[in-house]
Amino acid sequence: MSEHKKPTVSVVLLAYNHLDYTKLCVENLYRYTTDVDYELITVNNGSSDGTEEFFNSLPNEKKVSFPKNVGVDRAINSGFRLAEGKYTMNLSNDIVPTSRWLKNLVACMESDPKIGMAVPVCNYSSNRQQITLPYRSMEEMQNVADQYNHSNSRFWEDRLRLVTYTCLFRTDTIQKIGGFDEDFNPGSYDDDAISFRIRRLGYRLVLAADTYVHHFGSVTFNNEYFEDNLAVRNRSLFHQKFGVDSWVASEIDDTLVALADCRKTDPVRILGIGSSCGASLLQIKNKYRRWGNSEVRLFYLTTAQETLADLATICEPCVFGSPDDVGRFFSGGGFDLIVVEYDTGALAYPEGFFQQLISMVTENGRILTTVTPETRPRIEAAFKEKGFSACKNINFYFSFGKTPESKPFLKIDSSMSGTD
């Protein structure tokens, strides 16, 4: 007997009513996923509009059907348990697959065994996963996506969390953790939870900004968000389980990112100081990647002990302590960029703090920091004493360096700063 050949990807398609969207999703899945070996697993989550009959008419062998809606997490997990592919894709029925969408995501996952999740960009999402492409119909969308969807590792962004309207997972990992945490069922903060669980296992989360799909948005799951204060309940539940607030932890400071000149091609070392989980530093690292530099190392001194678990997933050494002790913790220095997220107005002796940092940057290094009107004269005097000056500033954010930045200043657009 010949050995059963397992597919590369198990695509788990979940639907709850909205048969028209489901048919469009399936039609485009078949049409635009001929370049990847996959199996289709359909999950009917209690639909009453003919979805079950439609799924039964499809040629795939693996089908799950619930007589009533059991919630997104429980339903999708039932499909995950049947997956045999190396990778598992959760696909909502409000997604329209496009040219090379799955091939590109597989290429991303195959590039590094430590990538645990990969999500494409789309037209409708939070978490900076939304982009705008010019089209007015599905036919135009497919033409535009065909031009857009070319695998390019420079557009793979590391993230702390991902919104999983469709997401490629490693099957062994997703089955090991049991899929989505059903404590969050029927949904809301469930994608935050699976992001943090997988990342804390040592995996990277990647937004594959080289790949686009259309997302109608909140078709598989919408009204449930507003019932029984579900979002409020699950936000609190997330904090209980992970010790941080998901949205605060993954918040990116666009101004800091915009100030960072990321054109250096040699290996880069970045030190952060503050109380964040490192989302802004990670976005600066992504910005370097866009410029072709993937050799960027992150370090962090946090004043908030609860952030250590997440910092440890993206930084090499991260330590808990006082900003005044930064020189003791990172005595070797040699940083190309130091990002101060700490409130400089709370520093008892800002001159001494910044002079420590000056001794830790490379000859052409930069120090990014906020400066309050009250502390600005003292901080600028401390920099001036060491031959540093403000090279660039945006409102109360400053970039200090020993040599002026090349002229003209780099113009940061949305694709480079990380904003949508």
The CATH number covering residue 262 comes to 3.40.50.150
Question: Domain total for the chain?
Answer: 2
- Do 265 and 363 fall into the same domain? yes
Per-residue pLDDT of 361-374, as tens digits, reads: 999 999 999 998 88
CATH number of the domain that residue 51 is part of: 3.90.550.10
Domain edge (last residue) among 212, 246, 280: 246
- Do 235 and 255 fall into the same domain? no
- Do 279 and 240 fall into the same domain? no
Whether 320 is covered by a domain: the verdict is: yes
pLDDT of 172 reads: 97
Whether 419 is covered by a domain: the verdict is: no
- DSSP structure string for 142-199: HHHHHHH----GGGEEEES----SEEEEEHHHHHHTTSS-GGGTT-SSHHHHHHHHHH
Percent of the chain with pLDDT over 70: 92
- Do 233 and 319 fall into the same domain? no
- Do 228 and 359 fall into the same domain? no
- Do 335 and 287 fall into the same domain? yes
Residue 401, pLDDT > 80, answer: yes
- Do 217 and 308 fall into the same domain? no
* HSE-CB for 71 with a 13 A CA cutoff: 16
Task: Determine the Cα–Cα distance for residues 208 and 134; give it in Å rounded to an integer.
Answer: 19
- Do 77 and 154 fall into the same domain? yes
pLDDT of 406 reads: 42
pLDDT of 3 reads: 65
- Do 274 and 176 fall into the same domain? no
Whether 189 is covered by a domain: the verdict is: yes
pLDDT higher for 101 or 407?
Answer: 101
Quick one: pLDDT band at residue 229, thresholds 50, 70, 90?
A: confident
- Do 366 and 277 fall into the same domain? yes
pLDDT of 404 reads: 55
User: What is the rounded average pLDDT for all residues in the chain?
Assistant: 92
Per-residue pLDDT of 2-25, as tens digits, reads: 467 899 999 999 999 999 999 999
Residue 154, pLDDT > 50, answer: yes
pLDDT of 187 reads: 84
Domain edge (last residue) among 186, 218, 246: 246
| Domain that includes residue 312, residue range | 251-402
Of 184, 165, 177, give the one whose Cα is nearest residue 74: 184
Task: Determine the Cα–Cα distance for residues 335 and 260; give it in Å rounded to an integer.
Answer: 14
Residue 31, pLDDT > 70, answer: yes
pTM: 0.92
Beta bridge partners of 367: 338, 400
- Do 232 and 287 fall into the same domain? no
Task: Determine the Cα–Cα distance for residues 322 and 329; give it in Å rounded to an integer.
Answer: 10
